[in-house]
Amino acid sequence: MANIKSAKKKVRIGQRNMKLNRFYKSTVKTLIKKYRLAIKNFEVTKDSETYDVLKSLLSKIYSRIDKAAKKKVFHPRKAARQKSRISKLFKKIG
């Protein structure tokens, strides 16, 4: 345990940042899982409603990834790689 006041503060800041980082990472993972599931549903149904859901999910994922990269949760190249892989999936079905 830290004894110095500034070290205690650093521990608190680290815990706060860990929670925020976990939030961004888990949100992105969850959205990507939903997106992959929606793609599978679209391949089966070929429904315009499902296509609209895919487009909205894609924009949400892009937004979350960009925000995470902006806050240094993700490395910029990792963010670009994830967005690229997601857009590839969208282009395959489109």
Q: What is the pLDDT of residues 42-53, one digit of tens each?
A: 999 888 888 899
pLDDT of residue 27: 96
How many folded domains does the chain comprise? 1
39 φ/ψ sector (left φ>0, alpha ψ -120 to 50, else beta): alpha
Please state the pTM of the whole predicted model: 0.85
Q: Per the structure block, which two tokens stand in for 19?
A: 């929670």
Least Cα distance to 90 among 20, 76, 50, 18 occurs for 50
Domain assignment present for residue 6? The answer is no
93, pLDDT greater than 90: no
Domain assignment present for residue 5? The answer is no
Dihedral sign, CA of 49, 55, 58, 64?
negative
pLDDT of residue 1: 73
25, pLDDT greater than 80: yes
pLDDT of residue 2: 80
Q: Find out whether 53 and 38 touch, Cβ atoms under 8 Å.
A: yes
Range of the domain at 73: 13-93
CATH classification at residue 69: 1.20.58.110
| Identity of the residue numbered 17 | N
